[in-house]
Chains A and B, each alone.
Chain A
Amino acid sequence: MRFSEKNRPRLLIISKDQSVRNDLVILLSGCGYFVDYVETRSEGITKFRNFKHAIVILDVQALPRHPQRMLNLFRVHKKNPIILIAAHRDEEEQVYPFMKLGIFDIVTLPFKADYLYFVLKRLVEHSRLTAQNEFVRMYIFIIFITMPIWWVAIWFFARKFHGFP
């Protein structure tokens, strides 16, 4: 997947495991994401506050016992960040209760590169379509409510310059 310089999504990796960090950075920077990586969640939150990443990949070890507060912090600074959890297969069940809090998907370790690319591609596509939908709805709304003013203006200029009745 290739992104233009203009539309490059910025991505944050929070993981204590250096090998996970390294793998993810190599894999994702290679396919055009702008990748930041940190070790602890406090560093991650500071980084997120400053750069408002579009996607956050969290190691399951970096999740606190009550992740609601941490995920809320993400939400405060960017309303809809997409959060992925990287977890070993046996840790997967720990994450399911938190799926409601805004976690998008779980990626199991060790990574299968193709699957990771596929998940991220689907995710970026999803957010793009959501945003596009929101934009179109908003624009239709704006056009709809402002239409009478524009009609009057067009009618006036048509009358003035083209002898319109």
Chain B
Amino acid sequence: MAQSIVIHTIILFLLSALLVFDCIWILLKTPFVYLFKDKPGMRKIHQQTVPRAGGICVAFSFLVILFLWNYWAPAGFPRLSTLLYDTSLFITLCILAIGFFDDSTTFLIVNKAKFFLEILVAAEIVYFFGIQLPEIRMFGLVIANRTVLACLSIFWIVGISNAVNIIDGIDGLAGTITTISFLTVGILFLYANSIDAAILCFMLSGVIVGFLFHNISPARVFLGDTGSLLLGMILSVLLIYLVGAHETGFSAATLFFVAGFPIIDVSVAMIRRFFRSFFADKGIYQSMRAMTVADSEHTHHRLVYRGLNHTQSVLILATFSATLCIAAILIRLFPGYKYFFEVYSAIIIVSFLYRLNYFDRFTKAIRNRIHHGNKKGLFRIGVVDADPVLYHAMINYNQRKFSMEFISRTEINANDSILGVQLQPAMHLHDQFMISSIWDHDTRQIPTALISKAMEAVAEDPRMEDDGFGNFSGPSYALQAQNRKYSAVLINCRGSHEVEEKLILAVRLLTELSCMVIISVEEIPVSALLNNGMRPQILFIKKPFYIPIFFSELNQVSKEWNNWKNVENLLKETTVLKTCKG
């Protein structure tokens, strides 16, 4: 007996697949197909005009098979229960009427009207046919109020049907996903001893398989709104029926996982749109409105934009969906391990979404926080007189810590404030010795003009206080460091003749900005090597230097330099000479 049922179910499966296949094949040969042309457009991925008549063929074939099954089924083969038969008929006819107008190019139906009609159909299913969620137990809460349950059922039916409609974005996706879901629901019905409902599910998957032969990439026909809404609505109704069919408690996670992929895709899209709008300062109301605005950033779009073709994308999403469906069956089989399967499936979902860069906004924020601390952005480095080689090397080096700004010596001379806030030369008196100490040892030239200028500025600075012993104290280096534009300045010497000029510039930058100054030279001046008493602010690096080592050194030193409290202490330490040579 059981064997004959299996054989007849397989025959029904093949018959429905064949009927849909032929129905579409005939339709594509007729001029009737021009009523349903779907032209390529901004949000669409297909490149040629394809008819959207698949759904109508699916609905028509489904009706035919339903009649055949109900009236001409062989003896001993279970008939479909009246409730399911009536509901399927009602849904198919209603959706056929709504979808026909939506799919055809001749007639127009407004989206809001379509949505209203869907709600109406769902409400009739709930109130007239009595298919609604029996009771919900979740997180210790029990919802048993019939009105609330009816509303939730309507929400579930409309939500799933629209979700299936939304995932119908690339060739064969909606068909494959719903086939997997119907097969899973069929298996779950078998465990609940509802043989007729199980056969209905297998028949429906047969219908979709027949359609998929025309819909796999490159598609000759699309499912259209008729097909996707029909399949989504029947799936959602069967899932509600499934809960009622089980006498024992039924896990809500099973329902969720069977229709897992459409639900995840739509809910993630809505959350993404909300946050995108919310972070763009649109306000909560506008962000809520933005949740329903269509875009081309769904999961399947992301896969296609990565370069995958439609078949590959469908394969990946089908594997994902099949895993969730298997998890749903395993939850039913091993209720004791329910939490394990639920948690593991949640991990799969999150890691899949992470792989598709859905958490980019958050990961970037976290990465920035780790790299740059909470408040600050990139450390800015000024590079003075960079030659093309240094420019390209620094720009192309892959690092996230520093941002470079290239300036020339002439620019600095022309505009004093180019380095940011023009600070008073707030120097301690002993800075004079620092300057002179560099140049005392240098026999060639002493920048007396600079020293005298600096000293004049110190004397005139109203913020300076004389302690009576010739020592001035003023605004601390730490204060200056907070206002500075650059964390460090790299001065490039293009030849030995430029060293003196660049040293003067370095001293000036040091005193005005109190930032770290690095001079890249071909030969480190003897004075700098000899003078251990020199101040530590000016670092010399000898050319040629390795860029990665340069950045790692800079990273280490800037950590100390950007801790503002330490700057003053650091300035009093002895000279540090760095040669960044590997």
Report which A residues bind B (CB closer than 8 A). 5-6, 10, 34, 49-52, 77-80, 127, 130-131, 134-135, 138-139, 141-143, 145-146, 148-150, 152-153, 156
Shortest distance between the CB of B509 and any CB in chain A (Å) = 30
Using an 8 Å CB-CB cutoff, how does the interface string of B163-175 with A read, 1 for contact, 0 for none? 0000000000000
Q: Is the CB of A139 within 8 A of B319?
A: yes
User: Which of A52, A79, A141, A150 lies in contact with B326, CB distance below 8 A?
Assistant: A150
Contact A130 B326 (CB under 8 A): no
- In Å, the complex CA distance between A52 and B306 comes to 14
Interface string of B317-359 (1 = CB under 8 A from A): 0011001001101100100000001001101100110010000
CB nearest to B217 among chain A residues: A6
CA distance A150 to B40 in the complex (A): 39
Nearest CB on B from A138, distance (A): 6
* B355 A141 Cβ-Cβ under 8 A: yes
Cβ contacts under 8 Å, B218 to chain A: 5-6
Given known A-B contacts A52-B45, A79-B306, A139-B319, A145 and B351 have beta carbons under 8 A apart: yes
Measured between C-beta atoms, what is the minimum distance from B302 to chain A in Å?
9
Q: In the complex, what distance in Å separates the CA atom of A145 from the CA atom of B41?
A: 36
Bound CA–CA A130/B307 (angstroms) = 7
The reply to whether B316 and A142 form a contact with Cβ atoms under 8 Å apart is yes
A80:B303 contact, CB within 8 angstroms:
no
Pairwise interchain contact B40-A79, C-beta atoms closer than 8 A: no
Minimum Cβ distance to chain A for residue B84 (Å): 28
Residues of B within 8 A of A51 (CB): 40, 47
- Complex contacts, B326 vs chain A, CB 8 Å: 149-150, 153
* A10, A34, A146, A153: most-surrounded residue (chain B CB, <10 A): A146
Contact A138 B323 (CB under 8 A): no
Contact A138:B316 (CB < 8 A) given known A50-B41, A127-B307: yes
What are the 10 tightest A-B residue pairs by CB atom distance, in nearest-first order? A131-B307, A79-B305, A146-B323, A135-B312, A49-B42, A153-B326, A134-B306, A135-B308, A50-B40, A142-B319
Instruction: Tell me how far the C-beta of A131 lies from the nearest C-beta in chain B, rounded to whole angstroms.
Output: 3
Q: Are B333 and A156 in contact (CB under 8 A)?
A: yes
Chain B hits for A127, CB < 8 A: 307
A23 to B341, CA, bound (A): 61
Q: How far is the CA of A42 from the CA of B316 in the complex (A)?
A: 36
Q: Are the C-beta atoms of A80 and B307 separated by less than 8 Å?
A: yes
Asked if B330 contacts A153 (CB within 8 A), the reply is yes
Near A by CB (< 8 A), chain B positions 55-76 give none
B81 adjacent to chain A (CB < 8 Å): no
Contacts of A139 in B (CB 8 A): 315-316, 319
Given contacts A10-B47, A139-B319, contact A134 B327 (CB under 8 A): no
Prevailing SS type, chain B contact patch: helix
What residues on A are CB-neighbors of B352 within 8 Å? 142, 145
Interface residues of B in 408-444 (CB under 8 A from A): none
A-B contacts, 15 of them at CB < 8 A, read A49-B42, A51-B47, A80-B305, A80-B307, A134-B307, A135-B316, A138-B303, A142-B316, A142-B319, A143-B319, A149-B327, A149-B348, A153-B329, A153-B330, A156-B330
Contacts of A152 in B (CB 8 A): 330
B267 lies within 8 A of chain A by Cβ: no
| Distance between A27 CB and nearest chain B CB, rounded to angstroms | 21
Counting CB contacts under 8 A, is B399 at the interface?
A: no
In the complex formed, the residue of B with least CB distance to A130 is: B307
CB pair B309–A131 under 8 Å, yes or no, is yes
Q: Chain B nearest CB: distance from A3 CB in Å? A: 12
> Out of A52, A143, A150, which one reaches B47, CB within 8 Å?
A52
Known: A138-B303, A146-B320. 19 other contacts (CB 8 A): A49-B42, A50-B42, A51-B40, A77-B42, A79-B306, A80-B305, A130-B307, A131-B306, A135-B312, A138-B308, A138-B316, A142-B316, A146-B323, A148-B344, A149-B323, A149-B327, A149-B341, A149-B344, A150-B326
User: Is the pair B308, A134 in contact by a Cβ cutoff of 8 Å?
Assistant: yes
Residues of B within 8 A of A77 (CB): 42
Chain B minimum-CB-distance residue to A146: B323
Task: Report Cα–Cα, A141/B356, bound state, in Å.
Answer: 11
Most chain A CB within 10 A, of B306, B307, B351, is at: B307
Chain B residues with Cβ below 8 Å from A80 are: 305, 307
CB distance from B214 to the nearest CB of A (A): 14
Q: How far is the CA of A102 from the CA of B334 in the complex (A)?
A: 52
Q: Return the chain B residue nearest A77 by Cβ.
A: B42
The residue in chain B whose Cβ has the minimal distance to the Cβ of A144 is B351
Q: What is the CB-to-nearest-CB distance from B194 to chain A, in angstroms, rounded to a whole number? A: 20
Q: How far is the CB of B127 from chain A (nearest CB, A)?
A: 38
A113 CB, nearest partner CB in chain B, Å:
26
Structural contact, B309 and A142, CB atoms closer than 8 A? no
Q: Which chain B residue lies CB-closest to A34?
A: B47
A77–B313 Cα distance when bound, in Å, is 18
- Residue of A78, A79, A142 ringed by the most chain B CB atoms within 10 A: A142
Taking CB atoms, residues of chain A closer than 8 Å to B308 are: 131, 134-135, 138
- Is B42 within 8 A of A146, CB to CB? no
Q: Are B305 and A145 in contact (CB under 8 A)?
A: no
CB closest chain-A residue, reference B322: A146
Q: List which B190-226 residues lie within 8 A (CB) of chain A.
A: 217-218
Are B319 and A146 in contact, with the CB atoms below 8 A?
yes
CA gap between A156 and B327 in the complex, in Å:
12
Contact among A78, A141, A156 for B305, CB-based, below 8 A? A78
Contact A149 B45 (CB under 8 A): no
Measured in the bound complex, the distance between the Cα atoms of B323 and A49 in whole Å is 35
Which of A5, A50, A130, A150 has a CB less than 8 Å from the CB of B323? A150
What is the CA–CA distance of A6 and B47 in the complex, to the nearest angstrom?
Answer: 12
B49, chain A: closest CB distance, angstroms: 11
- In chain B, what residue has the closest Cβ to A138? B316
Q: State in angstroms the CA–CA spacing of A80 and B355 once bound together.
A: 18
A49 to B41, CA, bound (A): 7
Q: Which residues of A contact B40 (CB under 8 A)?
A: 50-51
